[in-house]
Structure 1
């Protein structure tokens, strides 16, 4: 799908790039190019997961789906009955609630762990505060060796002296300590430290006075069922995965599109692991890198669950009886992620090399700047287009001038093509010589067009992951982060779907009008109508914010072309080209006469010497 969109973007830059190619390529090559493009569109359609709006699930159905844990580890509770841990196998579960400006977290004495996480600044599809994790969807704990057995903290009851409720202001902190005392010299301790305005929680685990088996590892184990948090369930599923960052600064992830169980053994130190969904992440960052890890992810057959995950991360060998970590539960917001730890912002896919730097250096800062002064995201997108069009104006002008020159030369180029129609190589040589004679590079207009490509492609990576657009309404679109369905059809149209996205429809119409301002000869005339229609079908499930951006881009592009046509003196360009052609002919004639005169002079000198 993404490659298909890149093809559309190439055709979308005032059609100048394709037009210049049309000027220098023969029709057979153009036909082959179009066939390849069509083949790619069909391929990426069939291999791309289609988005689907889902109804809000009932609590009962959601609870049933959330119990599908991905990995049932061996429970050694019965074996612990004859060990000092027997006293902790039963007890009373108590909850401690810690609330700051961003999070509401419920901790439990059962396991001494995090039981529930609520993101206060965000809402779910039913309008309630977003529950990122709960006791049905998340089980975590430290599994460590003890007397040839394995003890899992999530099976044990801890004690705490903490108050049942904490409400923190911005500058405040609170530490919740859970302790399990075995005897006067041995105890387990887990502590969680919260700040008043942070999505991060510091976590410290310590086995005091215990002789742990040196030949086995203590592991942090975490089973997560990723609940679908978005209206567009398929898009959420397609962007849900497990991502990790190694100590050697290598970033990698499990394959999002896999339909089979994905397993990954990592035998090198790991700095952090993130269970990432489209707009939110749950992650753990190690103080001392995890020694190694095993990751498991399986797709879900339920509409209420995106994927199920099991993590087993071995603690560092520096101190097997202690581990210091940081949990992150929050939005995939670039500004927030960048402050967590090194490389953590890579949880947001911003595109490949150049595109990534365009997003980091231009699009994200500009979008964030506009957010400070405007709350209407439709207006923000409009201003974003306007500013970018201003930045690209010199390139657009240069591309237009090159295209205008080639259009003026087309009659002469066609004459050369007709004269050498049976000798393609000679045709190319003569056309190149003709353009060189006038001081024109046939592909000079491609360079400005290609320089615009990274910005246009960057938008395709930016909008689907812009959490600011989540549930942001504009005109008829209730959520700019997903498609704006104005009509649900009683049937499904192949390739298109069962809904009508109005912003995508307007984008296609504006693209047709914008393309009419360019050349309309040969295959270009057909392309100017067919490509907008093809991509209206393919992009029907894209975010409304992206479709609106390109719709406004097309309208401004049309206005820009009108202004350039008004300002540029095409007759003056034609006169300059004719003047260059006359000068070139005179220069060639003088050069020929000079060579004749030199030859006569040389011959006279030879006669005089003889």
Structure 2
């Protein structure tokens, strides 16, 4: 192929074309005045963008409203009045937020959706004290509040996708933020937030004005509140165990969804819903009960080594009824500690959010343990307060311990005679039972007396089991080697994980297990374990021997991830009980005196009670019937 060469005519053509292009660029260049005007325009646009996106931190006026973003009114599209349809390309659609802050709470409310996008509980650290990680109940899109509205032109609007106009004012010491979703200046949907100083409870209202012709009031607006709860404590398994949705319905009844698995429910006349996170909680309350509520709780912890960020996903849906074509709901929001004193102070049944136990167990916690511990912890550090509290509880229960030990001592004294009866009537179980009951009656011994004191202690035992996990005051309070009495007291981190035990070694559960072993050793004893077994009955001696070793091991595994304050209580409690029993055994109750008293009782004529008489007659009839059958 012939090679093309650059000739003289081509060079002249390139030069002419270049000259024409340079002349066109020069003639179209902006003048100095035009350049200055353009720079001004760019500066104005930049300032508008900064105003729309920045967080409001100015002190609000006490007399006139402060419009945080003037440009938001430009977002309404002419010709779409009443549709709430905003252009995402306009200056208002850039995700601006308004901040409300008090000593207790820091809240950020977004223009888009008009709901809280950040809720920080001030003054507390995440995981451990001094971590400098704040307690953020809401952050990074883990929550939303959405109102679904049906329009007269058969469309469905979701407020979380639309942009509100914020106005921040002050009423006395209260900060008031009004978020309006406008169809016009006189037609709007409004969210109103009122943050008060030194209060975790905030006023919240949803109302509308002039929307009769815009919304389809025959269908309720659907309010959806959702929260994906962040983990805030050291042990995700322990925290998740007490993370649950609690609600009040039908004039004061309360209930909850399962904390262990996915759960849901539909309830009527709901007055509050609490998204509880063990030691912190988020609550939505209403003055006008929600006609119905659809509640869902999803457990997000399936593998504790992998699922370490979130605990639960909560969703609550409430239909909001229109009255005369408008919405008007006065509500409250609470973001703060799950602390009994604070929740109870609102006098709205919020103390039911605390897992204090049902019936008598909750009563003991509310009216005995919480006030008593509050007084003690008022002048002692929390670790010493638990020790002092434990001593007080054991001293109050010492008469029960005394009764139990005396009953055991009486049974021990009678054991040789019972063994003789067992041998004498080994071929006649009915007669053996009759003679044994006669012996008990003559000696003035109740074989059930040892069980009754133990049953009396059960309500106290269970109440305390619920008390310590509910005590917010123990959070990140140290004692000895434990740096957080509301969590486990790890003294050694294992390089592996033991099923049902964990990846660490907690010391207080070990000490409590050792104390339980010696306590059970004292209360059972070799003689009691080797007691003769009734025919047809299980060998209680062997069962108790097995329980002597199983109970401490169960304690060791079960409490390794529990609050160290609870393990500390059981350790001190068993030490004190062992001490009390040693005093009773060595200085108060003497077996020779008990034996003498029993022998004295045998010589006395004792009137048979109606119950004893009835039992004796029933046994005699049964024996006679058996003898009659044997003759046949």
* Contact 2:238–2:562 under 8 Å retained in 1: no
Structure 2 counterpart of 1:536: 556
Distance 1:493 1:295, change over 3 A: closer
Q: 1:438–1:584: 8 Å Cα contact kept in structure 2?
A: no
> Offset at 1:446?
1.9
Pair 377,175 (structure 1): closer, same or farther in 2 beyond 3 Å: same
**CA, structure 1 residues 252+536, in 2 after alignment: closer, same or farther (shift >3 Å)?**
same
**Pairwise CA distance, 1:208:** 0.3
Q: Provide TM-score, normalisation by structure 1.
A: 0.77
Deviation at 1:184, TM superposition (A): 4.2
Equivalent residues of 2:204, 2:332 under 8 A apart: yes
C-alpha spacing 1:445/1:318, structure 2 compared with 1 (3 Å): farther
- 1:559 is aligned, of 579, 587, 598, to 579
Among candidates 572, 577, 602, match of residue 581 of structure 1: 602
Find the partner of 1:157 among 157, 160, 163: 163
Q: How does 1:222-237 map to 2 (within 5 A)?
A: 222-237=225-240
| Residue in 2 that maps onto 1:600 | none
Supply the distance in 1 between the matched residues of 2:245 and 2:549 (Cα, whole angstroms). Answer: 42
Number of the residue aligned with 2:119: 117
Residues in 1 aligned to 2:556 and 2:566: alpha-carbon distance in whole angstroms: 13
- Greater CA drift, 346-355 or 556-565: 346-355
Alpha-carbon distance between aligned partners in 2 of 1:137 and 1:555, rounded to the nearest angstrom: 47
State the partner residue of 1:482: 487
Distance (Å, rounded) in 2 between the aligned partners of 1:558 and 1:497:
30
Q: Distance in 2 between matches of 1:121 and 1:132?
A: 13
SS of 1:213's equivalent in the other structure is coil
Q: Equivalent residues in 2 for 1:500-519 (5 A)?
A: 500-519=505-524
TM (norm. structure 2) is: 0.74
SS at match of 1:291: strand
* C-alpha deviation, 1:97, in angstroms: 2.0
Aligned counterpart for 1:423 among listed residues 400, 419, 428: 428
Q: Which of 382, 397, 404 is the matching residue for 1:399? A: 404
1:334-373 Cα deviation digits (max 9, x unpaired):
1112233533212111223221211112111112222222
Aligned to 1:96: 98
Aligned residue pairs: how many? 501
Q: SS of 2:505's equivalent?
A: strand
| Contact 2:259–2:299 under 8 Å retained in 1 | no
SS of alignment partner, residue 387 of structure 1: helix
Question: How far, CA to CA, are the matches of 2:238 and 2:101 in structure 1?
Answer: 31
| Number of the residue aligned with 2:191 | 190
Cα distance in 1 between the residues matched to 2:282 and 2:149: 23
- Relative distance call for 1:453 and 1:263 in structure 2 (3 A) is closer
CA distance in 2 between counterparts of 1:203 and 1:154 reads: 17
| 1:530, distance to aligned residue in structure 2 (A) | 4.0
Shift of 1:550: 0.5
Q: Which residue of 2 aligns with 1:69?
A: none
Q: What is the aligned partner in structure 1 of residue 269 from structure 2?
A: 269
8 Å Cα contact 2:81/2:184 also seen in 1: no
C-alpha separation in 2, matches of 1:108 and 1:241:
27
CA 1:496–1:135: 2 relative to 1, 3 Å: closer
Partner of 1:3: none
Q: How far did 1:277 drift?
A: 1.4
Note the C-alpha offset of 1:412: 0.9
| 2:253 equivalent to 1:250 | yes
Superposition pairs for residues 32-431 of structure 1, below 5 Å? 83-87=82-86, 90=90, 91=92, 92-125=94-127, 126-147=131-152, 148-162=154-168, 172-211=173-212, 212-258=215-261, 260=262, 262-266=263-267, 268-300=268-300, 302-316=307-321, 318=323, 320-374=326-380, 376-431=381-436
Q: Measure, in 1, the Cα distance between the counterparts of 2:142 and 2:594.
A: 68
Is the contact between residue 472 and residue 479 of structure 1 (CA under 8 Å) also seen in structure 2?
yes
Specify whether residues 385 and 140 from structure 1 end up closer, same or farther in structure 2 by C-alpha distance, changes over 3 A only: same
In 1, Cα distance between equivalents of 2:501 and 2:185: 70
Q: Is residue 280–residue 331 contact of structure 1 (8 Å, CA) maintained in 2?
A: yes
Asked which structure has the greater CA Rg, the reply is: 2
Question: How many Å separate the matches in 1 of 2:293 and 2:545?
Answer: 57
Residue pair 2:125, 2:135 contacting (<8 A) in 1 also: yes
Task: Report if aligned partners of 2:98, 2:166 keep a CA contact under 8 Å in 1.
Answer: no
Corresponding position of 1:572:
593
> How far did 1:483 drift?
1.9
Match of 1:457 among 443, 458, 462: 462
| CA RMSD across the alignment | 2.7
Shift of the alpha carbon at 1:378? 1.3
* Higher relative contact order (Cα pairs below 8 Å, separated by 6+ residues): 1
2-side partners of 1:146 and 1:304: how far apart? 39
